[in-house]
């Protein structure tokens, strides 16, 4: 058995989905483990046959036949589960999901509060209630996946959530919007019970992992959004570094992972917050298939030249947890570059000759640098 770990080096949108899909297709029996973030992730996979899907509630190895294990470090949204499962069924894929029973559940109260807060403070949230769910679970008003299977338990826990927002935070809601979302939520819970019986609630990753030859840990967002190392307050409420994955690996007694750090050929950020080189726009071909489009909560996707100092900072940050692991660099979206490839290093504008050139400047040998020239196709080792 081997383990592999996929982590974004920026602010998200680096290509973690295509990397996870690629790694799963190299394995005989892969299992994807989600270890950070939750239902707010958006990891795009495009197959050679032209099938395209953005994964949020299932791992990005699903189209490659890999089941998903949703750890307790991930938020779970029954509404998202229902919608995405139905979308995958229409693509001819029946996804398999295992969940930790202690994974926190996102409710309509969390979503509406998140959107109300983001409208006022503009931290860069995607408006799906992820951060609100995590914050609520730091107190007593918890709702776990295991609570969804019993009507009485669910109602008691939902009432506690409502009290938490109403009495403690003084939140008021649009009554009609809340009523409508609660109806959708309860319908989704019933769907979840029918299509995710309790036998799929896995209490031990160690036991589950025994049935697979490759365990791919799929990260969320990017290291520059990590709640401990990112630029507060424009961070995510998650440890998106290798921290959670390394804890799961140690607890389950799995081998140390090989890490795949992913970056685009340029910087992106979706939502408010610092972005270096924003005055230096990359020269790109049109990208009509971009997953992250303009929305009311984050606005348009922002882009700038790749900043090697930011990449080094992200790598150094994660090295605190993963210093003993073999590490690789994955560079995506090279097909979007129009003309020469420029970046900045120590504040100076430089021209990059290749992915291997970038990797060398960051401390990677050629055999540890992978590149992907389009959203469809295999990753290629630069030394081949």
Q: What is the mean pLDDT of the chain?
A: 91
Of 155-169, 235-249, 301-315, the range with the lowest mean pLDDT is 155-169
- Of the ranges 195-204, 228-237, 243-252, 370-379, the best mean pLDDT one: 243-252
**Rounded Cα–Cα distance for residues 320 and 326 (Å):** 14
Does residue 20 have a pLDDT over 50? yes
Structure confidence at residue 383 as a pLDDT band (50, 70, 90): very low
- Of the ranges 125-139, 141-155, 166-180, the best mean pLDDT one: 141-155
Does residue 295 have a pLDDT over 80? no
Q: Residue 167: CB partners within 8 Å, gap ≥ 6?
A: none
Phi, psi of 260 (to 5 degrees): -115, 105
Closest-CA residue to 198 (of 150, 239, 151, 237): 150
Tens of pLDDT, residues 49-61: 889 999 999 999 9
Does residue 133 have a pLDDT over 60? yes
pLDDT above 90 coverage of the chain, percent: 78
Of 121-125, 198-202, 244-248, 276-280, the range with the lowest mean pLDDT is 121-125
Tens of pLDDT, residues 21-48: 999 999 999 999 999 999 888 999 999 8
Structure confidence at residue 123 as a pLDDT band (50, 70, 90): very low
CA distances from 153 to 74, 76, 111, 164, 237 (A): 21, 17, 21, 17, 27
53 within 8 A of 87, measured Cβ to Cβ: yes
Q: Residue 352: enclosing H or E segment and its boundaries? A: strand 348-352
Closest-CA residue to 58 (of 10, 44, 240): 44
Structure confidence at residue 124 as a pLDDT band (50, 70, 90): very low
Identify the structural domains of the chain with CATH numbers, from first to last: 2-99+201-371 (3.40.440.10), 108-199 (1.10.300)
Tens of pLDDT, residues 65-108: 999 999 999 999 999 999 999 999 999 999 999 999 999 999 99
Strand partners of residue 214:
2, 30
Q: Residue 359: enclosing H or E segment and its boundaries? A: helix 355-361
Does residue 294 have a pLDDT over 90? no
Within 229-323, residue ranges assigned H as helices are: 243-252, 308-322
Does residue 293 have a pLDDT over 80? no
Q: Residue 199: CB partners within 8 Å, gap ≥ 6?
A: none
- How is residue 1 written in tokens? 């058995």
Section 225-242 average pLDDT? 93
Own/partner pairs for 167-171, CB < 8 Å, 24+ apart?
169/113, 171/109, 171/113, 171/116
Does residue 384 have a pLDDT over 50? no
Tens of pLDDT, residues 340-366: 999 999 999 999 999 999 999 999 999
Of 78-92, 221-235, 288-302, the range with the lowest mean pLDDT is 288-302
| pTM listed for this prediction | 0.93
Structure confidence at residue 372 as a pLDDT band (50, 70, 90): confident
Structure confidence at residue 375 as a pLDDT band (50, 70, 90): low
- How is residue 227 written in tokens? 């709640």
**Rounded Cα–Cα distance for residues 335 and 332 (Å):** 8
| Separation of CA 87 from chain center | 19
Q: Do the strands 97-99 and 43-46 form a parallel or antiparallel pair, or are they unpaired?
A: unpaired
Does residue 296 have a pLDDT over 50? yes
More confident residue, 304 or 124: 304
216 within 8 A of 23, measured Cβ to Cβ: yes
Burial (CB < 10 A; 0-12, 13-18, 19+), residue 366, is middle
**Rounded Cα–Cα distance for residues 332 and 355 (Å):** 9
């Amino acid at each position: 058995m081997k383990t592999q770990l996929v982590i974004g080096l920026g602010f998200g949108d680096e290509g973690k989905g295509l990397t996870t899909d690629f790694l799963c297709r190299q394995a005989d029996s892969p299992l994807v483990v989600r270890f950070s973030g939750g239902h707010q992730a958006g990891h795009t996979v495009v197959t050679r046959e032209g099938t395209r899907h953005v994964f949020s509630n299932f791992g990005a190895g699903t189209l490659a036949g890999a089941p998903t294990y949703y750890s307790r470090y991930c938020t779970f949204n029954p509404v998202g589960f229902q919608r995405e499962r139905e979308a995958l069924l229409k693509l001819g894929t029946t996804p398999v999901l295992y969940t930790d029973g202690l994974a926190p559940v996102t409710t309509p109260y969390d979503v509406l509060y998140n959107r109300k807060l983001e409208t006022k403070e503009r931290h860069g949230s995607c408006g799906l209630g992820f951060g609100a769910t995590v914050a609520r679970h730091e107190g007593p008003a918890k709702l776990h996946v295991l609570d969804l299977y019993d009507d009485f338990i669910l109602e008691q826990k939902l009432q506690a959530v409502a009290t938490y927002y109403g009495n403690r935070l003084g939140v008021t809601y649009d009554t009609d919007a809340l009523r409508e979302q609660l109806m959708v939520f309860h319908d989704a819970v019933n769907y979840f019970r029918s299509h995710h019986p309790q036998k799929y609630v896995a209490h031990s990753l160690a036991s589950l992992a025994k049935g697979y030859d490759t365990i791919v840990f799929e990260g969320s967002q990017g290291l520059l959004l990590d709640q401990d190392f990112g630029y507060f307050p424009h961070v995510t409420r998650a440890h998106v570094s290798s921290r959670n994955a390394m804890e799961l690996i140690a607890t389950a007694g799995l081998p140390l992972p090989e890490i795949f750090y992913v970056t685009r050929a340029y910087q992106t950020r979706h939502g408010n917050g610092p972005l270096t080189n924003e005055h230096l726009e990359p020269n790109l071909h049109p990208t009509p298939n971009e997953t992250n489009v303009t929305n009311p909560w984050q606005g348009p996707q922002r882009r700038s030249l790749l900043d090697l100092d930011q990449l080094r900072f992200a790598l150094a940050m994660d090295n605190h947890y993963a210093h003993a692991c073999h590490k690789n660099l994955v560079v995506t979206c090279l097909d979007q570059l129009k003309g020469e490839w420029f970046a900045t290093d120590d504040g100076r504008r430089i021209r990059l000759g290749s992915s291997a050139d970038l990797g060398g400047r960051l401390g990677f040998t050629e055999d540890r640098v992978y590149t992907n020239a389009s959203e469809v196709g295999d990753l290629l080792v630069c030394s081949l």
